[in-house]
A and B are shown apart, each in its own frame.
Chain A
C-alpha cells in the first residue's frame, strides 16, 4: 500500500511538472531597468537606473565574457548581482557584447580590449566626470579587464575579478586540458565565426550526465504536489520559471569572432602568455606588474570551468599593494545566481568597494586624486 501511494506521488509530480511545461510560462531575464547609452557595431553599453537617491561617486563597469550573455548577472529580481549592487548605492554599467555575425569574423582581442572596452571606459569616465572608474570583470571578461588594467592603469581605480582565468597552464579544469589539443587554426579557418553551439557542446561534455540528464530529473523532483494547495501551484510554477530562465541563459551562446577566438585559444589557453607578461595586443606587451590599483580577486571553490589555480596567480603577478583573494564554496555559475551569492558574494563586494568608491578619499595605501565631477548640465552638453 505504501509503495503504491509513493509511486502515485512520483507520478503526480511528473504530471504536474509536464502540465506547467505544457503551459510554457513566459520567462523574462535582465529585467532591472536600464538605458542603452552607447552602441558600437554589435556592442552596447547599458546603464542601470540607480535605486538610491545618492550613489557612490565612482561607477562600476561590468565586463562579461564573450561566450554566453551578460544577463546572468541580472537573471531575475531576487537573483541579481546588478540589483544588489544598485541597492548598495553603486552606479552600475555593463557591456553587452551582442551576437557577432560574419562581418565580425576579423575582430581581434585588441579590438575588444583597446577598442570596445576602452571606448566604454572612456564614456563612463566622461559621464561620471572622473579620471578613474571601477572595473569588474567576470570570467573571460575578467581576463579582458586584467589586460585592460595593465594597459591603461590610469583609467582604472579598482579592479574586481570574478572567476577570471589568467593562468591557463593548469590540469584542473577540463576546458584547460582539452584546449591544448584543439587546432584553433582549423576551427577558425573553417567556421570563420565560431558557432556558439560548437562551444556549448564542449561545456556540456564537461559533465554530460549531470548537465544533460540529472538537472532535468532534479527539476521534476522539486515539483510539489499537494492536491488543492494553491500556494503549492504557485511555488511549482516559480520552480519551472527559475529553471527555464537558467536554461535560456545556458543555451543563449553567441557565436565567437574568429580571430579573437584564435588568439585567445592560442596565446592564452595553449601558450599561457598572459601570466608570463608575454601577451601582445596591437604589438604592445601586456605587463601585469603595471596593475597597481586595489584588486579583489574572487573565485568559486567548486568551479569546473575556471579552476582556482587559473585565478590565484593573478595576485602575485600584479604590483597592487592592496590585493585580496576571496574564495566562496560554490560553483562557476552559482557564484552569480546561487542564494549564497545574494547572501555573501554581493555584500562582500560592496563591503570591499564602498570605502574605495568615494571622491578624494584616503585609501589604505594611497590618496587617489579625482577630477571634479561634471554636473548633469555639463554632461548633457558634452
Chain B
C-alpha cells in the first residue's frame, strides 16, 4: 500500500484493512455473548447519525431554496414598486401591500409548481419521517419496553386484530341477514 498516494482509493484501502484487522482481533471480543447487548445498543445509537445528517442536509437545501426564491420575489417586487414613487397616503401603502402580496405569492407558487421543489419536499418529508421513526424506536427501546409499557407496534397489532374481528362480525351479520331474508 502506497501511503504517498493522495486519491480516495488509498483511503478506502486503508479503511478496509483497518476494519478487517479490527474484526479479526478486538472485534472478536465484542462478539462474546456478555458484551453482545452493549454492542447492539451502540450499533443502534450509531445508526441514528446518518439519519440526522441526511435530515440536516435536506433541511439546509430547503432553506437555501427558500432564500433564493425570496430574493427572486424581492427583485420582482422592486421592479413593480417603481410606479409608486410619486404616490403618498394610505392608498400607496395599500398598493405596496398588494404588489408585495402579488409578487411573493406568484413567485412562490411558480417555485412550488417546479419538480425541484416537489422532489426536495419529498426527500425532506422522507428523511424527517426516518428520524422520527428512529427516535420512536429509541424511546420504545430505552423507556417503554423496560417499563413494560405498550409500544406503537403493540398498539398497531391490537388495532389490526380489532379491525379483522370487526370485519368478520360485519360479514357474518350480513350473511345472517341474508339467510333470514332481511336484506
Q: Do chains A and B stick together as partners?
A: yes
* Binary contact readout A1-31 vs B (1 if CB under 8 angstroms, 0 otherwise): 0110011011000000000000000000000
- Near B by CB (< 8 A), chain A positions 187-222 give 187, 189-190, 192, 205-210, 213-214, 217
With a cutoff of 8 Å between Cβ atoms, the chain A residues found around residue B91 in the complex are 6
A213 adjacent to B101 (CB under 8 Å): yes
In the complex, what distance in Å separates the CA atom of A177 from the CA atom of B89?
A: 43
CB of A103 within 8 A of chain B? yes
In the complex, what distance in Å separates the CA atom of A115 from the CA atom of B130?
A: 34
A186 adjacent to B113 (CB under 8 Å): no
B156 adjacent to A105 (CB under 8 Å): yes
A207 adjacent to B109 (CB under 8 Å): yes
Among B18-26, B32-40, B117-125, B138-146, the stretch in contact with A: B117-125
How many A-B residue pairs lie within 8 Å, measured between CB atoms?
84
Shortest Cβ distance from residue A351 to the other chain B in the assembled complex, whole angstroms: 36
In the complex, what distance in Å separates the CA atom of A6 from the CA atom of B91?
A: 9
Residue of A nearest to B106 (CB): A209
Residue of A nearest to B182 (CB): A382
B159 adjacent to A106 (CB under 8 Å): yes
Residue of B nearest to A187 (CB): B129
- Count how many chain A residues have C-beta atoms less than 8 Å from C-beta atoms of the other chain: 38
With a cutoff of 8 Å between Cβ atoms, the chain B residues found around residue A189 in the complex are 133
Shortest Cβ distance from residue A224 to the other chain B in the assembled complex, whole angstroms: 16
In the complex, what distance in Å separates the CA atom of A135 from the CA atom of B97?
A: 45
CB of B126 within 8 A of chain A? yes
Shortest Cβ distance from residue B134 to the other chain A in the assembled complex, whole angstroms: 10
B109 adjacent to A181 (CB under 8 Å): no
Shortest Cβ distance from residue B131 to the other chain A in the assembled complex, whole angstroms: 10
In the complex, what distance in Å separates the CA atom of A181 from the CA atom of B163?
A: 30
* Binary contact readout A80-107 vs B (1 if CB under 8 angstroms, 0 otherwise): 0000000000000000000000111111
CB of A324 within 8 A of chain B? no
CB of B84 within 8 A of chain A? no
CB of B50 within 8 A of chain A? no
B125 adjacent to A183 (CB under 8 Å): yes
In the complex, what distance in Å separates the CA atom of A7 from the CA atom of B130?
A: 51
Shortest Cβ distance from residue A205 to the other chain B in the assembled complex, whole angstroms: 7
CB of B41 within 8 A of chain A? no
A103, A177, A181, A208: most-surrounded residue (chain B CB, <10 A) = A181
In the complex, what distance in Å separates the CA atom of A104 from the CA atom of B159?
A: 8
A214 adjacent to B101 (CB under 8 Å): yes
In the complex, what distance in Å separates the CA atom of A293 from the CA atom of B129?
A: 44
- Near A by CB (< 8 A), chain B positions 80-110 give 88-91, 97, 101, 104-105, 108-109
CB of B68 within 8 A of chain A? no
A187 adjacent to B159 (CB under 8 Å): no
Residue of B nearest to A214 (CB): B101
With a cutoff of 8 Å between Cβ atoms, the chain B residues found around residue A213 in the complex are 101
Q: List 23 A-B contacts (CB under 8 A).
A: A2-B89, A7-B90, A9-B90, A102-B155, A102-B159, A103-B159, A103-B163, A106-B160, A122-B183, A174-B109, A178-B122, A181-B119, A181-B123, A183-B122, A183-B129, A186-B125, A186-B126, A190-B133, A192-B152, A192-B156, A206-B112, A207-B108, A210-B105
Task: List residues of B whose CB falls within 8 A of some A CB.
Answer: 88-91, 97, 101, 104-105, 108-109, 112-113, 115, 118-119, 121-123, 125-126, 129-130, 132-133, 136, 152, 155-156, 159-160, 162-164, 166-167, 170, 183
In the complex, the 3 A-B pairs of residues with the closest C-beta atoms, listed nearest first: A181-B122, A106-B163, A209-B105
